[in-house]
Amino acid sequence: MTAETKHQGPLVSVIIPTYNRPDYLKQAIASVVQQTYTNLEIIVSDDCSPEHPQPIIDAFQDARIRLRRNPTNLGIGLNATYAFKEAQGKYVASLNDDDLWCPDFLEKLVPPLEADPDLALAFCDYFIINSEGTIDAPATEKQSCREKRHQLQAGIYRPFWELGLIDRSVFAASAALIRCEAVAWERLQEAGVFWDYYISYLACRSGQGAYYCPERLACYRIHAQSENMTSGNRNAQAKIRKGKAGIACYESFMADAPNPKLRKYFEREWAYANTTLGIGLLRANQAIAARPYLLRSLQYQKLNLRTMVALALSFIPQSLASPFLQMRNVFAEHSNHL
Q: At what angle do helices 195-204 and 76-85 cross, to 10 degrees?
A: 50
Q: Where are the domains of the chain?
A: 3-221, 229-330
pLDDT class of 204 with cuts at 50, 70, 90: very high
Choose the weakest-confidence range: 23-32, 93-102, 103-112, 218-227. Answer: 218-227
CATH code 3.90.550.10 for 3-221: yes
CA–CA gap between residue 139 and residue 278 (Å, rounded): 30
| DSSP single-letter state for residue 332 | P
Average of per-residue pLDDT across 196-224: 96
pLDDT tens per residue, range 146-186: 999 999 999 999 999 999 999 999 999 999 999 999 999 98
Of 320, 112, 75, 30, the closest CA to residue 194 belongs to 75
From residue 140, give the alpha-carbon distance in Å to each of 123, 127, 147, 197, 246.
Answer: 16, 5, 11, 20, 25
Which burial class, exposed, middle or buried, applies to 40 when counting CB atoms under 10 A from its CB (0-12, 13-18, 19+)? Answer: buried
For residue 215, give the H/E element and its range.
Answer: strand 209-221
Q: Is 107 left (phi over 0), alpha (psi -120 to 50) or beta?
A: alpha
Which is more confident, 187 or 219?
Answer: 219
Rg (CA), the chain: 20
pLDDT tens per residue, range 131-151: 999 999 999 999 999 999 999
pLDDT tens per residue, range 83-137: 999 999 999 999 999 999 999 999 999 999 999 999 999 999 999 999 999 999 9
End-to-end Cα separation, the chain, in angstroms: 35
What's at 52, amino acid-wise? H
